[in-house]
């Protein structure tokens, strides 16, 4: 599968590649070259990240090579030694060739649409962006294996498998022993909130006391305050947040300054929904050439050569991190997902939990004696119970880190230093350790930031603004940034491990939910603010993409051009000269006349992609799209999303 260049082209590449800078800067791919052809959204993310890690990215000459494959040339070579293929489907399933189709077929639309009561397309190329990160993880893991003696030559992943990873917790809950219960009140009554003076904002509390104090000060009836707490705190696992309408009315009657003062007194965190333009203006976001930096920061220790590399056995090709130990002190989603990914790559993960175990082990729905959602992120990890408030508990973690390869946590800011478990503390006992801190905000919001959680990051980053319509921002209650933050954190750890293999020195890796959000915003943040179309132009293309009701269930149309719109109109018997709401109304009426499966076949013959929307995640295990990417044990789990071959 590896594509070679012509000898002349290879010679030219070799002459331009700088020599590896061992121990002189945080670039684990210094001296590497990556070749590509056409760039999909997933490939674009992958190439950006590989470039940020030091690789030189070049386009193949002419039309050579598979457009879905990236070829990696290491220092001292003229031809690729590793290829990475990023396809749309897990096993060549026909019909999956775009983001809309993938979201429909993997349950992403179903989960994102819970807050409105019907499947809805996530208005971002989310699955593709996640697939790009997974592709980089596969490349880095393969290169780590090669440094350790296993000549991995091919790796790959798919956008569909990436999408399944993003809904893995919801899928586990849907297939648990217990039935999952979703709130049934007004689904549209949840956040973000709007103040009297027109400010949209998110609110966050992880404890009921600030929640109660805040709404009490705003004169909300105590009954509604209590009734709203559970759906608010459970919006993360359930992706819905139906709050009593009295809460929205209370903030709508006050200006934002008054609301912020009340929140400060109560200890409730607020985050104003910002625009993309505001995010673009953040100091340090854009580099000198106007591009967004990578979502992680690598800081190697100045300890190269102080700790000899232990003798290791070469890993199996399909488990490239075999023999590597990762210690995780993670909470909720971001940290546990990061080490779950490393475990799927073959690492031995040891999870640090408080005495008595992580309380989230008991979160319904249960599968056996454990939460299905918890199992989705933590199955197979070993556990060390340690009280980090005691000297003995902290000493146990230090001893564990002494023999580990990586340590990852997502504690609140300053906690690692309080525990004596910061990077300097652990590097002193293990100079080869890759130390990863996966935070909410990084250092972007100062020493006392608001709570750094998924929906707060969506608001501050401008993602809520990007997903909004008609000036009304929309925060997805699917845990977009928690998941992407975990994937980015794992990507950073793999970069640190490769850098260590090449230099001998350990590395600190910093990433955050806020930095992960940029993976979904590269083009929006880098484009010039003034994008007016000048001269003659066609009328705006009517948006027909996404799920539509049919006689028996929703059908997602992939229509992104005038040509595809014309094909759709011809197949449906709709006047192609209609535009806007009139065209949408005609399309909606016609689609109700037949079943989703019937329309899918008819539209495929007309050259229009139409995909039946999965509405019940419990049925995913039996679909062709997901069958080979899922496995059933206590509940349904998503398998490792890469393939590796020597």
Q: Which residues are catalytic?
A: 482
Contact of 93 with 489, CB cutoff 8 Å: no
What CA–CA distance (Å, rounded) separates 217 from 586? 50
CB burial class (10 A; 0-12, 13-18, 19+) of residue 61? middle
Contact of 358 with 374, CB cutoff 8 Å: yes
- CB neighbourhood size of 551 (10 A): 14
Say how far residue 99 (Cα) sits from the centre of its chain.
15
What are φ and ψ of residue 512, in 5° steps?
A: -155, 165
**Burial 490-521, CB ≥16 within 10 A → b, else e:** bbbbbbbbbbbbbbbbbbbbbbbbbbbbbbbb
- CB neighbourhood size of 110 (10 A): 26
Contacts of 621 (CB under 8 A, 6+ apart): 175, 627, 630, 632, 636
Residue 581's H or E segment, with its range, is: helix 580-591
Residue 321: which region, alpha, beta or left (left: phi > 0; alpha: psi -120 to 50)? Answer: alpha
The SS3 of residue 385 is strand
Contact of 79 with 13, CB cutoff 8 Å: no
What CA–CA distance (Å, rounded) separates 615 from 622? 13
What CA–CA distance (Å, rounded) separates 43 from 199? 37
Two tokens at 174?
């849907």
Contact of 97 with 609, CB cutoff 8 Å: yes
What are φ and ψ of residue 8, in 5° steps?
A: -65, -45
Say how far residue 331 (Cα) sits from the centre of its chain.
16
What CA–CA distance (Å, rounded) separates 361 from 179? 17
How many angstroms separate the Cα of 158 from the Cα of each of 80, 85, 96, 97, 119? Answer: 21, 8, 10, 11, 23
How many angstroms separate the Cα of 19 from the Cα of each of 11, 47, 239, 298, 528? Answer: 15, 20, 49, 20, 35
- CB neighbourhood size of 258 (10 A): 16
What CA–CA distance (Å, rounded) separates 45 from 86? 11
Contacts of 421 (CB under 8 A, 6+ apart): 329, 388, 394, 397, 398, 401, 409
Q: Match 């396809």 to its residue by tokens.
A: 87
What CA–CA distance (Å, rounded) separates 161 from 314? 27
Q: Give the full edge-to-edge strand order of the sheet including 406-409.
A: 296-300, 507-512, 434-439, 406-409, 325-329, 348-353, 382-385
**Burial 319-331, CB ≥16 within 10 A → b, else e:** bbbbbbbbbbbbb
């Amino acid at each position: 599968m590896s594509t070679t260049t012509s000898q002349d082209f290879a010679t030219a590449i070799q002459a331009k590649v700088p020599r590896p800078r061992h121990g002189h800067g945080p670039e684990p791919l210094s001296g590497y070259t990556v070749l590509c052809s056409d760039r999909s959204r997933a490939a674009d993310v992958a190439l950006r990240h590989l470039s940020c890690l030091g690789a030189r990215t070049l386009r193949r000459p002419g039309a050579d090579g598979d457009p879905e494959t990236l070829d990696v040339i290491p220092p001292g070579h003229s031809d690729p030694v590793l290829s990475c293929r990023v396809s749309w489907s897990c096993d060549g399933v026909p019909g999956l060739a775009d983001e809309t189709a993938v979201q429909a077929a993997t349950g992403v639309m179903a989960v994102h649409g819970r807050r409105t009561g019907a499947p809805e397309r996530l208005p971002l190329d989310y699955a593709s962006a996640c697939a790009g990160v997974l592709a980089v993880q596969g490349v880095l893991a393969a290169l780590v294996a090669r440094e350790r003696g296993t000549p991995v030559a091919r790796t790959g992943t798919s956008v569909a498998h990436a999408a399944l990873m993003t809904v893995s917790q919801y899928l586990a809950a849907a297939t648990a022993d217990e039935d999952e219960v979703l709130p049934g009140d007004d689904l549209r009554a949840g956040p973000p909130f709007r103040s009297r003076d027109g400010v949209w904002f998110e609110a966050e509390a992880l404890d009921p006391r600030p929640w109660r104090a805040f709404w009490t000060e705003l004169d909300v009836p105590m009954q509604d305050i209590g009734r709203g707490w559970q759906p608010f705190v459970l919006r993360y696992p359930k992706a819905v947040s139906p709050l009593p309408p009295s809460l929205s009315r209370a903030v709508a009657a006050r200006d934002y300054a008054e609301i912020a003062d009340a929140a400060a007194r109560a200890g409730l965190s607020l985050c104003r929904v910002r625009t993309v333009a505001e995010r673009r203006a953040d100091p340090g976001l854009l580099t000198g050439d106007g591009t967004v930096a990578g979502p992680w920061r690598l800081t190697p220790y100045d300890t190269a050569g102080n700790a000899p590399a232990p003798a290791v056995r070469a890993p199996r090709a399909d488990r490239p991190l075999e023999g590597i130990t990762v210690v995780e002190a993670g909470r909720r989603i971001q940290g546990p997902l990061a080490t779950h990914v490393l475990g799927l790559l073959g690492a031995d993960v040891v999870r640090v939990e408080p005495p008595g175990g992580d309380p989230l082990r008991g979160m319904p729905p249960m599968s056996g004696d454990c939460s299905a959602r918890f199992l989705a992120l933590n199955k197979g990890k070993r556990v060390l119970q340690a009280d980090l408030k005691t000297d003995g508990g902290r000493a146990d973690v230090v001893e564990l880190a002494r023999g580990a390869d990586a340590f990852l946590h997502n504690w609140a800011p300053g906690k690692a230093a309080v525990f004596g478990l910061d990077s300097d503390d652990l590097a002193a006992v293990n100079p080869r350790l890759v130390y990863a801190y996966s935070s909410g905000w990084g250092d972007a919001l100062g020493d006392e930031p608001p709570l750094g959680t998924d929906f707060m990051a969506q608001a501050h980053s401008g993602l809520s603004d990007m997903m909004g319509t008609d000036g009304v921002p929309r925060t997805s209650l699917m845990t977009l940034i928690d998941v992407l933050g975990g994937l980015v954190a794992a990507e950073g750890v793999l970069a640190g491990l490769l850098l260590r293999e090449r230099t001998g020195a350990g590395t600190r890796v910093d990433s955050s939910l806020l930095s992960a959000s940029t993976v979904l915003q590269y083009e929006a943040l880098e484009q010039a603010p003034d994008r007016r179309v000048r001269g003659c132009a066609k009328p705006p293309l009517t948006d027909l993409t996404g799920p539509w009701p049919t006689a028996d269930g929703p059908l997602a149309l992939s229509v992104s051009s005038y040509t595809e719109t014309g094909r759709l109109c011809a197949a449906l018997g709709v006047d192609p000269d209609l535009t806007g709401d009139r065209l949408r109304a005609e399309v909606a009426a016609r689609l109700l006349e037949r079943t989703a499966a019937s329309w899918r076949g008819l539209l495929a013959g007309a050259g229009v992609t139409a995909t039946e929307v999965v509405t019940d995640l419990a049925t995913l295990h039996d679909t062709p799209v997901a069958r080979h990417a899922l496995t059933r044990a206590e509940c349904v789990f998503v398998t490792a999303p890469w393939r590796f071959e020597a």
